[in-house]
A and B are shown apart, each in its own frame.
Chain A
Amino acid sequence: MIDRLCDQAGDEDVAVTGLYCDFLAQQEQTVTNMIGAILKQLVGRGDIPKEVREAFQKAKKEFGGRGLLLAEMMGMLRIALASLSQVFICIDALDECLPKHLPQLLESLRDIVRESPRTRIFLTGRPHVAGGNSKILHQGGRDTGQS
């Protein structure tokens, strides 16, 4: 999937990112880390955006290298998305993500699509994930429609 998209993308301004959820790495796979992993793939393509670099240099001085909060991570992701014409995000095995993280992850994805409507998201998972999954994302659609 990712390879096919990469092969077809061609355009420099189109980025394909991917993420594999894994039972074995559930503790590490917080929503912040997952969004961070997507961001990392975007900024690793070329020069790291100065906003990201500045945030890092600032964090380095605080508390011996302070980590990021989800909102900060999303802010930087927004900047990275804005610099590209289209971004594909592929997330494999949603059912292997910790259930307590899933709603937040989906909400974050929903916000990404709302703010950068050209973003394309591909998710895989066992059928039982589909229920709650659709609800959160659909909700996003309705909210956008009303506002």
Chain B
Amino acid sequence: MEILEVSTAFVFPWHGDDLEEIVAQQAASPLFFSPTHRKFIGSLYRRIGRSSISTFTRNFEENIMAQISVNMRGGNVNSGNITNSFNKYFCMSDEDALIMRWLSPLEPNNRHQSVRTDRFDGVGDWFLETSEFREWRDSEGGADGAVLFSSGNPGVGKTYLR
């Protein structure tokens, strides 16, 4: 089995001054939040202000989860367009939700959601144009080239490849 290695050497462009842009991007994203929730996210950002990004993300996620569960109990279930991962088990039968918990307590979707909302457009696009990535993605079967390993030092942006 052949392993392709791609070194990542790009710097994730996070600076304090960019925070507002991130806020604007997230608040405008129509993909995962209903208008009500976008409004809520906007106000949350305004309240949190410029706290450091790492704690910021965590608070944000916890707050969203709390808010959504309150809304679900409050009879807002019919809005239908709250499709993010935090509430996905609300849509399942009890047994299905239990099976999911039984399979694993880990919820990678939650983390994924926070990564994708924190990401800038265009970050890591160059990587996705490399022949290494394309060959890995498109190769027709076979164990050769099945694994692509992207290595890089902490903070260079491996997580944030789009």
Interface size (B, Cβ < 8 Å)? 47
Nearest A-chain residue to B8, judged by Cβ: A124
Instruction: Out of A48, A113, A130, name the residue touching B99 (CB < 8 Å).
Output: A48
Q: Assess the B153–A126 pair: CB atoms within 8 A.
A: yes
Of A20, A59, A120, A129, which one neighbours B136 at CB under 8 angstroms?
A120
When distances are taken between beta carbons in the complex, the residues of chain A under 8 Å from B106 are 19, 25, 28-29, 33-34, 36-37
**Interface presence of B83 (CB below 8 A):** no
Chain A, interface size category, equals 35 or more
The main secondary structure of chain A at its interface with chain B is: helix
Bound together, the chains give a CA A39 to CA B71 distance in angstroms of: 29
Chain B contact residues, CB within 8 Å of chain A: 1-3, 5, 7-8, 88, 95-96, 98-100, 102-109, 111-112, 115-116, 124, 128, 136-137, 139-144, 146-154, 158-159, 161-162
Q: Can you sample 16 A-B contacts with CB below 8 Å?
A: A1-B162, A2-B116, A20-B115, A33-B105, A37-B106, A39-B104, A44-B88, A109-B147, A110-B1, A113-B146, A117-B141, A126-B153, A127-B151, A129-B151, A133-B149, A137-B147
